[in-house]
Structures are given as structure tokens and as C-alpha cells.
Amino acid sequence: MQIKAQKNSLLLLTKITTILFYTWIAETEGKVPALIVFGDSTVDSGNNNVLPTALKANFPPYGRDFMGSGKPTGRFSNGRVATDFYSEMYGLRPFVPAYLDPEYNIGDFAVGVCFASAGTGIDPATAGVLYDPFIRRRRHLLCALLCNSVIPLLKQVELFEEYQARLAGYLGSEMAKQTISEGVYAISIGTNDFIENYFALATPRFLEFTPESYVDFLISLSRDFIIQIYMLGARKIGFTGLSGMGCLPLERNRNPMWGRPCIEEYNKVAREFNLKLQQMTDELCKALPDLQLRVAHLFDFFSNILENPSLYGFEDAQYGCCGTGTFELGYLCNEYTPFTCTDASKYVFWDAVHPTEKTSRIVAEFLMNTTFSKFK
């Protein structure tokens, strides 16, 4: 009875938070001029579509629930991703277009643009890794042919500079400058550095660093990145912390232990990264005038979804919807993949790594309420 009462209380609290959240949205709609996105496949809205890489999601069943169109946009989801919901909640357009998507132009990008690229990381070496879920190694020759065009974080900054010049030509210098300074920046990156690079033994990083020192290395690179976009005019920056990457279907279904539990070694590293990311954030906010840098803490909230999926309307939190839900993602999750579920809303995960649209909406509501609504 006590457990049931606790679950009911949590559900009530969730409903109250949602009501307060949408009240906030109604009051703040239109105050953010643009949403600008950097990161990896968690927020890539289609940049990889035009790159010579195997890391794509521009084919069915990806996108089958995208805004009623069923269009595979390149998002690693059955529909929209979290940043699309941020944009909608800010009163902007209901999705954020990819900067390299030829269907959109600077008029579209003036209120939201995505530079993210699936397969990239904070570490430049991660962008040169080709993921193969069947073998935990990388085929470096194949990678050289297919994967080197994944956009590293530093290249995303170069695209951001190009975007600024185009924006000034479209809006005028003063209005473009205001959009850059008053816009909100969403960053979602870091998981690939561990599960596709360090722990996968894909590059020499596992020989160069201990897990702890690799975290320090990534934090140092993150600091440099923040300073770069700050110098280019960014002020309101939300950096999403890592979630429990050891609980991704791809990782836990590799675990030979009975019940396939989460790989706690990976989760421990994620917690350490988040702690040091917060410390770095505090230091930069003291050092850089007018910087509003915030960590979007996701680990505990997402862990609660995985531990109590029914509270959020899910039936399955261990497997992905696509195929067997254990290893399928990217080109292995296609229209011919057998066993794909018919109702993705019952699943926390869409493929073996990425969340469903429903999960992304729930996460977006939480992070908007706790982090992205706090910018002044």
C-alpha cells in the first residue's frame, strides 16, 4: 500500500508540474527569438542526410510518426526529438530544421537552426568512428570512406559562424546580433565519446586515458567549445548532462548477467561527467560576463522513467521498438527489419539507443521546466 501511495503521489506531482509548465509557456511565448542546436544524434534533425556517412536515419521506419507526415527526416526517432519540442514550447516553429537540409533557407533558420550531427562527440576522434553493433570494434578503412564527414563539434562552430554572416544579410546586422545574443542554445553531446569511442576501444583513447582522466579531457574540450560560442555572441546556453548510458538497450542487452541489468560502470562515468560539467559551468559563469550557462540535469529523471515506466504510460523500458530492440539502429533499423512494434508510444526507446518521440516530449517538458525556462 505504501509503495502504491508513493507512486500515486509521484504521478500527481508530475501532473501538477505539467500544468505549471504549460502556464509558464503561455506567459513566455515569443520571448525567445531563436533556438540554436549543437550536438549528436540525440538532436540531429537531418544534417547527416547530405553527408557521405553510413550514420543516417532518412529512411523508414524512422519518422513514421513525424507530425502526421510519416516522413523520415534524418532524426533518429519515430517522430520529433527534444529540441523540436523546445522550439514549439518557446512559441517558435514546431521543429528545428537542419542547417544542411536543402529544403530550408536562412529565412527558416532565423528562428531555429540545428548544426548537430549523428555519430559525433566532444572528442574530435569520436567523429571518425564508424559504429558496428555486431562487433565492438571499428573498421577504420571503411570509416575513412564513409564516416569522416560526420560533423565534429569544431566544424559545427564553423557552420555557426557562417550562419551568423547569412543571418546578418537576411535580418540586418543589429537584429542578427540581437537574435544571436538573445537566442537559446541547446547542446546535447557526449554519450558517443564513451559508448562508441572509449569503452568500445575504437581509438587509442582507452590507452591514453583512464575513465576519470578521459572525463577531465572531455570537460576541458567542452569548456573550450563554450568559450568559442560565447566569443561569437552566445549567452543563454543549456548543456544537457549525460543520462544513464549503461541502461541503453544496446548496452544492457550486451550484459551477460541474468536479467540484463544496466552497466553500472558506464553510469558511474556519466555521473562523474555531469558533476564536473556542473563545476565547469559554475567557473565559467563567474569568469565570463553575462554568460547564462546551465546544465540540464537529466540522469535522475530519466532513471526514474526506466525504473517506473508505467507512471509515464510506457510498457517497455528495456527494448527498443525497432526490430528486436537489442541492437538495431541506423541502417539496421529499416522498413524490412522484422518484429518492429506497431505502437511506439508504449516504448521508452525507439531503436537500441534513441528515445521515442513520446519519451523526447516528456524529457523536453522536464528540462524546459527545470533548465531552459530559467534564462533571463
- Catalytically active residues are 41, 351, 354
CA terminus-to-terminus distance, the chain = 43
Determine contact, residues 332/133, Cβ cutoff 8 Å.
yes
At 264, is the secondary structure helix, strand, or coil? helix
d(CA 113, CA 36): 5
d(CA 366, CA 376): 18
DSSP 25-44: HHHHTT----EEEEESTTT-
- 225 half-sphere exposure, CB direction, 13 A CA radius: 32
Determine contact, residues 354/41, Cβ cutoff 8 Å.
yes
Looking at residue 134, its amino acid is F
Where is 16: in which H helix or E strand? Answer: helix 2-28
Cis amide leading into 52 (omega within 30) = no
d(CA 317, CA 311): 12
d(CA 308, CA 305): 5
Buried b (16+ CB within 10 A) or exposed e, 14-24: beeeeeebeee
Determine contact, residues 274/191, Cβ cutoff 8 Å.
no
Residue 237, beta-bridge partner list? 185, 293
CA gyration radius for the chain?
20
